[in-house]
Amino acid sequence: MTEYRLHCFAQSGNAYKAALMLELCGADWEPVFVDFFNGAGRTPEFQALNEMGEVPVLEHGSTQLTQTGVILDYLAEKLGKFGPTDEAQRREILRWILWDNHKLTAYHATWRFMANFLPADKRNADVIGFLEGRARAALGVLDKHLAGRDWIVGDAMTIADLSCAGYMFFDGEYPEDWMTATPNVDAWRNRIKALPGWQHPYDLMPGHLIPGR
Ligand SMILES: N[C@@H](CCC(=O)N[C@@H](CS)C(=O)NCC(=O)O)C(=O)O
């Protein structure tokens, strides 16, 4: 059995944050497929793993963790990479991870789910429009922060970058101008993409169901 097991599915940008961390660190890990689109997250078996009913879940020996911020923090400590260099950085990383969970990933992921994966007859244009506005605003905040810097905190990649980048590689599933309007974000995600070992979420995690990709 591998050292780390990550319960995940291909479309999950949240799970991707942890999967990419494990991969970039060269960890001994395997994905465990959660059939999210067929309701696996709502089963008693999955809820026994995570009472919040959310993917991802990380298993490491007898340790079982949920919430990507916690998982990334744990992995940074265990694997000795992408963590803070001092206390001030630790707080700054935490600040960006909290912001990401609240403002960036939250709106981007919910917009993407509603605009791409909900059956057409269940889509609400007003809700989708609202979420898009919030996602664009969050991208604007990140773009401004990244002006003149390569990474979100300090001068090297950290788990703050991995957290904020969870949904940045699903090209074709969000309007192209989300990236052209935020060139610093675009350059930053390309820096991540250029790292040795980088893989697209659809190559790193199982269960991709979208035809034609
Ligand atoms: N803040 C959570 C978000 C996790 C999350 O929302 N995961 C999605 C899949 S990408 C999910 O399981 N959603 C189920 C739900 O919202 O009920 C984290 O960082 O782990």
- Amino acid 114: pLDDT: 96
Digits of tens for pLDDT over the chain (213 positions)? Answer: 899 999 999 999 999 999 999 999 999 999 999 999 999 999 999 999 999 999 999 999 999 999 999 999 999 999 999 999 999 999 999 999 999 999 999 999 999 999 999 999 999 999 999 999 999 999 999 999 999 999 999 999 999 999 999 999 999 999 999 999 999 999 999 999 999 999 999 999 999 765 444
Cα 148 to averaged position of ligand 1 atoms, centre (Å): 32
Helix ranges (DSSP H) in the chain: 13-24, 44-49, 68-79, 87-99, 105-112, 125-146, 159-164, 177-180, 183-193, 201-204
Closest ligand 1 atom number to CA of residue 55: 12
Nearest to 92 by CA among 13, 165, 159, 149: 159
Nearest to 132 by CA among 181, 178, 99: 178
Is the minimum distance from the CB of 11 to ligand 1 under 6 angstroms?
A: no
Using CA positions, which residue lies closest to atom 20 of ligand 1?
Answer: 67
Among 36, 55, 114, say which to mutate for ligand 1: greatest number of ligand atoms within 8 Å of CB.
55
Closest ligand 1 atom number to CA of residue 17: 19
Domains along the chain with CATH numbers: 4-81+198-204 (3.40.30.10), 87-193 (1.20.1050.10)
Query: Amino acid identity of 110?
Result: T
Using CA positions, which residue lies closest to atom 16 of ligand 1?
Answer: 54
- Amino acid 109: pLDDT: 98
Closest ligand 1 atom number to CA of residue 56: 20
Using CA positions, which residue lies closest to atom 12 of ligand 1?
Answer: 54
pTM reported for the whole predicted model: 0.97
Exposure string over 153-190, b if 16+ CB within 10 A, otherwise e: bbeebbbbbbbbbbbbbbeebbeeebbeebebbbebbe
